[in-house]
Amino acid sequence: MKQFLLFAALFCSLAATAQSDTPNDWWDMDRTENTFPGVSAKKTHNYLEGKTATKVIVAVIDSGVDIEHEDLKDAIWTNEDEIPGNGIDDDRNGYVDDIHGWNFIGGADGRNVNNENLEVVRLYNTYKKKYDNRNRDGLSKKEKVEYDAYKEYEKIVQDKRTELGPNYEQYKGIKESMDVIVKKTGKSIEDVTADDIAAIQDKDMATGQIQKVVANATERGATVQELYADLEGALDYFSGQMDYNYNPDFDARDIVGDNPGDLDDRNYGNSDVDGPDASHGTHVSGIIAGVRDNGIGVNGVGGANVQIMSIRTVPNGDERDKDVANAIRYAVDNGAKVINMSFGKGYSPYKKAVDAAMKYAEKKDVLMVHAAGNDGKMLTLTNNFPNDTYEGKKRTGKTWIEVGAASAFYDENLAASFSNYNKKHVDVFAPGRDIYSTTPDNNYASFNGTSMAAPMVAGIAALVRSYFPDLKAKQVREIILESALPVNLQVKKPGSEEMVSFAELSATGGLANAYTAVKLAERTKGKNRKAGKRDETLRMY
C-alpha cells in the first residue's frame, strides 16, 4: 500500500509543521563536505566523470510514473522491440504495446484501478462467504482455524470503520467551516490571508475555532493555502479509507477483468504506465533517475545511464500478490537489473507466488530493493510483505535489500520517527525524510517515507551496476551493505522517545552511501570474487 502523509489542523492545534530548513538536495550531499548525511551522489558522479558506463534498467513497481515529466522523460526505458500504438504484441512477450512498461491494474478497455481494498478486507470477504451464519462448534479443526481468522478480520474491519467515522466527520466539518469563512472574506482560497480571516467579526463558535486554527498555523510558518491543502488531504485520506480501503462492499477488480486468484494468469492489464495517480511512483523515479545537472528539478542518484521501467501495480489500497509476482517477472524478463519496491502490506494470502517470482529474479541476477514501512515499529516477517523469507523459512534472499529511513539531522533525530527497524530484518538506512523529487505534470514536492529511502539504495545499486557491469547482483548487495557508513550515535527509537544506539536499528547499523559503494566496487573485480572488507575510511561518520 502506498504510504500517505497526513498533516491536518485540529480545532485547537496544528499537526502541520513549518517548512524544513534543510536544502532540497540534502540527500544528494556528502556529510564530510556538506554536513548533511546524504548518499554522496554528487561527490560520486564527480569522481566517476569520464569513466565508461553501460545502461541499466531499473523497474519501478509502483502507482505509475509520469513518463513525460520534464526531468524524467530522457530517463524512461523504451521497449525497442515494440511498435507504439499498433495494437500488436510485436515482441511476443504477452503484452501489447508495452512501450515503457506495463500496467497490471488496468483493464483491456483502458480503464484503471485507482482505489482498492486493503488485504484484510479481501480476506474478510473471502471467509465471510464460507463462514457467515455458521456455528464454530460443528466445524473441522482446519475450518475452525479459518473461522477464527474470519472473526479476527471482521473485528479489524469493524473497529477501523468505527474509528474512521468520527475523524472523517470532524475534518469534513472543519473544511466546511473554512469554506464558509473564506467566502465571508470575499476572496478566493488562492488569495485569502490569515489577516483576512482574523478580521472577521462574527462571534459564532465555528468562526472562532477556524480563526484559532489559522492563527496556530501561521505561528508555525504555514499559510492559509497550505492549511487548506492539508484539510483537503485529510478528507481525501479518511474518505478513501471509509469508501474504499475498509469498505467490504467495494470491489474494483472488475475493471481488470481477471480472476485475482488465478496465479497462472499473467497476460492481463494495459499499457498505461501513468495511471490516474502517478504521484508516488513519479517521486520514487525522480530519486533514482532525475536527470542530473540539467538546470531543473532534481539530480537522481543513479545518473545518466539509468532508465526507468514503470510497472503499475500499486493502487490507493493494498497491492495484490498476483500483480506483484507478475510485475517482478515482467521486470526480469524485459531486462531490469534492479527492482524498486516502495510498497508493503500486513497480509499476503498468495505469498508463495511472490516468493517464486523473487526466486526467479534472484536466479536471473536481479537486485530487489524494498521499503521497510512507515509504522514506526519493529519489522517482523509476519507484519510486512513482501519479504525475503521464503514460505516461512529463514531469511535467504541473496539479492534483496530492506531499507529504513533516515533524516537530514545527524543527531538524536537521525532515524526518521516513522521508519520501521530491526537489527536482523532491516539491512540499511538511507535518506527518507524531507525528500524533494518529481511529481506529475512537471511539478516537484517533498515527501517522507521509507518509500523515498528505498529508491536511494536502488539508485546506488543502478550506479554500481552501470559502472561495474561484471558484478553480480549478490555482489552489489554485499557492496552496498559492506560500504554503509557506520553511525556512532544514540538516537530516538522510531515511534518512541526511547534512546537507543543507531547500530541497533539495522543489520549494518549504518547509512547507505554511493561514494563508498563505488570505491568498494573498484576493489571487487570479477564475477565470482566477494566484496572487499570494510576499511577504516568508513569510520568517518
The pLDDT of residue 536 is above 80? no
Is 280 an annotated catalytic residue? yes
**Residue that finishes a domain, picked among 245, 275, 309:** 245
Here the CATH number for the domain that contains residue 78 is: 3.40.50.200
Residues 84 and 124 in one domain: no
**Residue that finishes a domain, picked among 245, 273, 298:** 245
Q: Which helix (H) or strand (E) holds 362?
A: helix 351-363
The pLDDT of residue 541 is above 90? no
31-35, 320-324, 516-520, 533-537: which has the minimum mean pLDDT? Answer: 533-537
Q: What is the mean pLDDT of the chain?
A: 92
Residues 368 and 498 in one domain: yes
Q: What is the pLDDT of residue 392?
A: 66
Mean pLDDT of 174-189: 93
Residues 358 and 501 in one domain: yes
Neighbours of 534 (CB within 10 A): 18
Residues 329 and 298 in one domain: yes
The C-alpha angle 22, 282, 410, rounded to 5 degrees, equals 25
What is the percent of the chain with per-residue pLDDT over 90, rounded to a whole number? 85
Number of H helices, E strands in the chain: 13, 13
Q: Of these residues, 279, 451, 466, 506, which one is catalytic? A: 451
Mean pLDDT of 118-139: 96
Mean pLDDT of 34-61: 97
Q: What is the pLDDT of residue 110?
A: 96
Residues 358 and 421 in one domain: yes
Of residues 20 and 509, more confidently modeled = 509
Q: Of these residues, 45, 100, 280, 283, which one is catalytic? A: 280
Q: What is the pLDDT of residue 18?
A: 36
- Label residue 115 by pLDDT band (50, 70, 90): very high
- Label residue 530 by pLDDT band (50, 70, 90): low
Is position 21 within any domain? no
Is position 87 within any domain? yes
Mean pLDDT of 321-329: 98
Is position 266 within any domain? yes
Mean pLDDT of 204-230: 90
Q: For 28, which DSSP code?
A: G
Mean pLDDT of 188-202: 93
The C-alpha angle 112, 316, 66, rounded to 5 degrees, equals 60
Residues 82 and 95 in one domain: yes
Neighbours of 247 (CB within 10 A): 18
Residues 336 and 477 in one domain: yes
Residues 47 and 77 in one domain: yes
**Residue that finishes a domain, picked among 211, 245, 279:** 245
Q: What is the pLDDT of residue 191?
A: 95
Q: What is the pLDDT of residue 527?
A: 52
Residues 412 and 504 in one domain: yes
The pLDDT of residue 7 is above 70? no
CB crowding 278-306: b at 16 or more within 10 Å, else e: bbbbbbbbbbbbbbbeeeebbbbbbbbbb
When divided into structural domains, the chain yields a total of 2
Nine cell digits for residue 361 = 529474479
Is 148 an annotated catalytic residue? no
Is position 16 within any domain? no
| pLDDT (tens digit per residue) in 341-392 | 999 999 999 999 999 999 999 999 999 999 999 999 999 888 899 998 887 6
Is position 92 within any domain? yes
Q: Are 423 and 505 in contact (CB under 8 A)?
A: yes
Q: What is the pLDDT of residue 342?
A: 98
Q: What is the pLDDT of residue 108?
A: 95
Best CA proximity match to 301, nearest among 176, 503, 139, 453? 453
Residues 128 and 103 in one domain: no
Q: Are 406 and 422 in contact (CB under 8 A)?
A: no
Is position 507 within any domain? yes
What is the percent of the chain with per-residue pLDDT over 70, rounded to a whole number? 92
Is position 215 within any domain? yes
Q: What is the pLDDT of residue 16?
A: 32
The pLDDT of residue 96 is above 70? yes
Q: What is the CA radius of gyration of the chain?
A: 24
Q: What is the pLDDT of residue 25?
A: 96
Residues 201 and 165 in one domain: yes
Q: How far apart are CA 270 and CA 459, in angstroms?
A: 27
Q: Of these residues, 28, 40, 45, 62, which one is catalytic? A: 62
Q: Is the peptide bond before 84 cis (omega within 30 degrees of 0)?
A: no
The pLDDT of residue 133 is above 70? yes
Is the CA virtual torsion 413, 419, 423, 429 positive or negative? negative
Domain of residue 400: give its range: 31-114+260-539
The C-alpha angle 10, 13, 17, rounded to 5 degrees, equals 100
The pTM is what?
Answer: 0.91
- Label residue 508 by pLDDT band (50, 70, 90): very high
Is position 503 within any domain? yes
Residues 296 and 221 in one domain: no
Per DSSP, the three-state class of 439 is strand
The pLDDT of residue 535 is above 70? no
- Label residue 9 by pLDDT band (50, 70, 90): very low
